[in-house]
Amino acid sequence: MSEINITPFVDVMLVLLIVFMVAAPLMTVGVPVELPKTEASALPIEQEEPLSVTITSDGLVMIQNTEVAPSELVARLQAIAGERASDRIYLRADGANSWDMVAQVMGALNAGGFSNIGLVTDTGGTTFAPASE
């Protein structure tokens, strides 16, 4: 028999696909937050690791995995952003936070010169599209 059996190859590829699908969201940022769910589409993928600011459920502000005092947030981000090619910042906020806290952080980022801010959410939220008949 001179044919190549590709069934084991396909099985291995499917297992690897599932492993990477599960592991990829965990590699982005290690701060656990319960993101709000929306029906927004994903932002385009960048070449370098995204710079993210996280607001935890208890109000802590973090850059990547490092806790930062709110008064030092903009200064630290400006120092980090000077070494990066991309000016985009991803803002991750736990759904338990008040909109006031999120708006304050966004305002501080904007006042610090950061205008390319992406809000990170989970997919599968409520749809506001009209019901089809």
> CATH number of the domain that 49 lies in?
3.30.420.270
Domain presence at residue 92: yes
2 pLDDT above the threshold of 90: no
pLDDT in tens, 27-83: 655 666 666 676 766 666 656 677 888 888 888 888 888 888 888 888 888 888 778
Domain presence at residue 114: yes
pLDDT of residue 27: 64
Query: How many domains does the chain contain in total?
Result: 1
pLDDT-based confidence at 103, cuts 50/70/90?
confident
pLDDT of residue 15: 94
Domain presence at residue 73: yes
pLDDT of residue 28: 59
- Strands 89-93 vs 51-55: parallel, antiparallel or unpaired: parallel
pLDDT of residue 34: 66
Domain presence at residue 25: no
What span, in angstroms and rounded, lies between the C-alpha atoms of 103 and 109? 10
pTM of the model: 0.59
The domain of 109 spans: 37-123
Residue 77 neighbours by CB distance under 10 Å: 20
Residue 117 neighbours by CB distance under 10 Å: 15
Domain presence at residue 5: no
Does 118 or 10 have the greater pLDDT score?
A: 10
Alpha-carbon 50 to chain mean position: 8
In degrees, to the nearest 5, what angle opens at C-alpha 61 toward C-alphas 124 and 51?
Answer: 70
Domain presence at residue 20: no
Domain presence at residue 87: yes
Strands (E), the chain: 37-38, 51-55, 61-63, 66-68, 89-93, 117-120, 122-123
